[in-house]
Amino acid sequence: MTAPKQPKAQNKTKTKKVRGGKGPSSFMRDLQARMENCSNAETLNDQVITPFIQSLVTVCDARGYVLNVYGENCNLAITPGDHSEPLFQLIEAYLDEANLG
């Protein structure tokens, strides 16, 4: 008579696989390729930047995150929709005043 098999210990840590086994570097290359396929700023904004930011906002909102990224070369601030136009105008005014626009 043999002893019954013991169930295997389950790993409590769950990890999500990235689609197709791609990692961050692959995602970055794919995103860059999509961006390079855009012939102008409007297309880039419509086809890549806006959908990416909308996805980021959706995930952040679902988790209760407030996202404000300050970078050496760029800034990203996520605000409610009714704040986007005034924020844009402030940035434009600043760039104009600093002769950067």
Q: What confidence category does residue 53 fall into, taking pLDDT thresholds of 50, 70 and 90? A: confident
Question: Which residues partner with 76 through β-bridges?
Answer: 69
Q: How far is residue 24 CA from its own chain's centroid? A: 12
Asked if residues 78 and 68 have their Cβ atoms less than 8 Å apart, the reply is yes
- The predicted-structure confidence for 28-41, as pLDDT tens digits, reads as follows 999 999 999 999 99
